[in-house]
Amino acid sequence: MTAVTIRDAFWDRIRETVRLEGIPYQWKALNDEIENAAPSYCMRNFRIAAGKESGPHGGFMFQDSDVAKWLEGVAYTLEWHPDQELEATADSAIDVIVAAQQPDGYLDTFYIINGLDKRWTNLMDCHELYVAGHMIEAAVAYYQATGKRKLLDAMIRLVEHIRSVFGPEEGKLKGYPGHPVIEMALMRLYEITQDPAHLELARFFIDQRGQEPLYFPLERKKHGNGFYWENGVLEYAYYQAHKPVREQKDAVGHSVRALYLYSGMADVARATDDETLKAACERLFESITQRRMYITGAVGSSEYGEAFTFDYDLPNDTVYAETCASIALVFFAMRMLAMNPDGRYADAMERALYNTVLSGMQLDGKRFFYVNPLEVLPEACAKDQRKRHVKAERQPWFGCACCPPNLIRLVTSLEKYVVTQENETLYVHLYMGGDISAKVGDEPVTLHVQTGYPWEGGVNISLSAEHETAFDLALRIPGWCAQYTLHVNGEAVETQAENGYIHIRRSWKNGDSVQLALDMPARVVRANPRVYENAGKAAVMRGPLVYCLEEQDNGANLHLVRMGADPQFATQWQPELLGGVVTITSCGLRETCDGWDEQTLYACERGIEIRPAELKWIPYYAWANRGANEMRVWIRT
């Protein structure tokens, strides 16, 4: 019932970079045309599977999913910027993909090339349902953007094949994907087809997961599959398959798999009004955001298993914090908002989006982070095996390239995260310039939004409506905002936030206006004392943005820097720096190495000299755009 058009100074620059640079660059990467980058093999695999070329399968068994996410990003882009040449390129990719589909509907190049006799024999590790899920999502998005059904019809045939293999009926497999995503993909397909079979299959995969006897051990025994996680700390929790989903209380295992699963659970819970599933989603959301999430909205603290570990375990330098995991957190939070408009969900979505998600891509759209640390010493990344997964600079591509196309499909689809409608209430979750069009009853209304967010806290909304229309406009007051003012048609309005939203209930006329001013000072933020790594440390935020110190601005040895007792923050808009950012300067302290020669490692008589220092902070998302250098989010106080 709502449609959003984004015209926003902050996001337009990023989205145009993705459209003009990122999407063409990634198409070249998918065709192995990027010099000095890890090969993808993705489109080559499809050409081989379609009989257009010959050769072995290349790359990981799930490489097909990369082009699916790229196609999904293309589809969203075409919605807000039609481009015949880009659409023709996407059509050509779809032609090759569909040509590889088997007569029974099956589609997965790894098994088509290596032998169809082995398909569906290793759901735990071989990603067939994961690949199918991403292909379904691409097909739905492309149909919605272009009206073209070729890929959509192919995916409906694939789903029919999957339904012939899996289900509660006698003779069908009682399995579920080792890597979830098909659950929320089937729900997106259900929105298009309204075929109850698509909903039932999604619900089957969710309900079946973790039921005794566990499917994965049975599958391993039957087909002789190995088990990498055996006798480790994760085992089947790595796949969120250690117990039924309604009994899970803590976010565990591989963080991306977990959040894709929770997103599918939320979709099914909303569609079926399943209160037990809703309650499980709420518990898991709380587990993540209250005890297992970084200040940047990053999740998944351990390199081992790319996984959640335990409450308050949030190391800054050995962190994993995969870009895909924060993208998945955005997916989950938005689905929770659709089920229950509560500012907690929008706060988590915004935190992840403006910090870790954006950090995952270079400002030029052509280099990427898989891992998003909160503390970096470049020498340690190169010489300490425990930190080899952490990079001081973004990479041109990855052999496992899930993050780059995942990032573009989110950035190009931001329209879908700005607002939701519940009967006669419009909930504005994210503040971006542009237009929000909606129907309230039978009356169309349009909200014209102007804002300097995230650099400024002012949000101005004017209304266009043919007839006077009564509805409730609910504007989010972010959790970070301590003070705000609200005016309607120039008159001050006193109102209290309810579950993170202020509600303006009135009969609206053409030309009415709302002015919301969110106070946006730089502020010192501390972690719960239970976070071992951040005891005695603090971070700096302004609005939704986390800030960091870089060696480029503050010199080396950032571990010697302290935050002063009275930081005296000052902000400055620097249009020529890092694509245009607000920087923060503050008063701080720095320990010196004076009096310590390089040959003395420990001593009693040496003193520590502490001198005043001016600190310069930049937004975390923009770090590592000026070469490899030290970086820190948390510093001592």
Is residue 146 classed as helix, strand or coil in its secondary structure? helix
Query: What is residue 607's predicted lDDT score, i.e. its pLDDT?
Result: 73
Query: What is residue 67's predicted lDDT score, i.e. its pLDDT?
Result: 98
Cα–Cα dist 273/199, whole Å: 13
Summarize pLDDT for 17-50 with one digit per residue, the tens: 999 999 999 999 999 999 999 999 999 999 999 9
Determine which one of 42, 324, 381, 402 is catalytic: 402
Cα–Cα dist 476/21, whole Å: 33
Report which secondary-structure segment, H or E, holds 381: helix 378-383
Is the confidence at residue 593, as pLDDT, over 90? no
| CA R_g for the chain | 25
Is the confidence at residue 480, as pLDDT, over 70? yes
Cα–Cα dist 586/617, whole Å: 8
Question: In sequence order, which ranges of 55-195 are alpha helices (DSSP H)?
Answer: 64-80, 84-99, 109-114, 128-146, 150-165, 182-193
Contact 284, 262 (CB under 8 A): yes
Q: Which of 238, 345, 341, 342 is nearest to 284 (CA)?
A: 345
Q: Which of 561, 614, 609 is nearest to 587 (CA)?
A: 614
Distance of CA 277 to the CA centre of its chain: 22
How many other CB atoms sit within 10 Å of the CB of residue 480? 18
pLDDT classification of 594: cutoffs 50, 70, 90: confident
Backbone angles phi, psi at 535, to 5 degrees: -60, 130
Summarize pLDDT for 152-162 with one digit per residue, the tens: 999 999 999 99
pLDDT classification of 441: cutoffs 50, 70, 90: confident
Contact 626, 577 (CB under 8 A): no
Query: What is residue 448's predicted lDDT score, i.e. its pLDDT?
Result: 98
Q: If you average pLDDT over residues 526-554, what whole number do you get?
A: 98
Is residue 4 classed as helix, strand or coil in its secondary structure? strand
How many other CB atoms sit within 10 Å of the CB of residue 144? 16
CATH number belonging to the domain at 420-518, selected among 2.60.40.1180, 3.40.50.11740, 3.40.50.2300, 3.10.20.90: 2.60.40.1180
Query: What is residue 543's predicted lDDT score, i.e. its pLDDT?
Result: 98
Cα–Cα dist 519/572, whole Å: 16
Summarize pLDDT for 516-536 with one digit per residue, the tens: 999 999 999 999 999 999 999
- The structure tokens listed for 374 are 């909160």
pLDDT above 90 coverage of the chain, percent: 97
pTM for the complete prediction? 0.98
Domain positions in the chain are 2-417, 420-518, 524-636
Is the confidence at residue 1, as pLDDT, over 70? no
How many other CB atoms sit within 10 Å of the CB of residue 598? 6
Q: Is 630 noted as a catalytic residue in this protein?
A: no
Q: Which of 306, 320, 176 is nearest to 228 (CA)?
A: 306
Summarize pLDDT for 182-239 with one digit per residue, the tens: 999 999 999 999 999 999 999 999 999 999 999 999 999 999 999 999 999 999 999 9
Q: Which of 451, 444, 463 is nearest to 513 (CA)?
A: 463
Cα–Cα dist 334/349, whole Å: 7
Summarize pLDDT for 371-405 with one digit per residue, the tens: 999 999 999 999 999 999 999 999 999 999 999 99
Cα–Cα dist 40/63, whole Å: 7
pLDDT classification of 411: cutoffs 50, 70, 90: very high
Beta bridge partners of 534: none
More confident residue, 598 or 229: 229
Domain 2-417 belongs to what architecture?
Alpha/alpha barrel (1.50)
pLDDT classification of 2: cutoffs 50, 70, 90: confident
Considering Cα of 377, then 381, then 382, then 385, what sign does the dihedral take?
Answer: positive
Distance of CA 550 to the CA centre of its chain: 24
Query: What is residue 598's predicted lDDT score, i.e. its pLDDT?
Result: 86
Is the confidence at residue 455, as pLDDT, over 70? yes
Q: If you average pLDDT over residues 239-256, what whole number do you get?
A: 98
Beta bridge partners of 435: 5, 448
DSSP 215: H
Q: Is 126 noted as a catalytic residue in this protein?
A: no
Q: What is the mean pLDDT of the chain?
A: 97
Query: What is residue 589's predicted lDDT score, i.e. its pLDDT?
Result: 97
Determine which one of 183, 303, 306, 375 is catalytic: 306
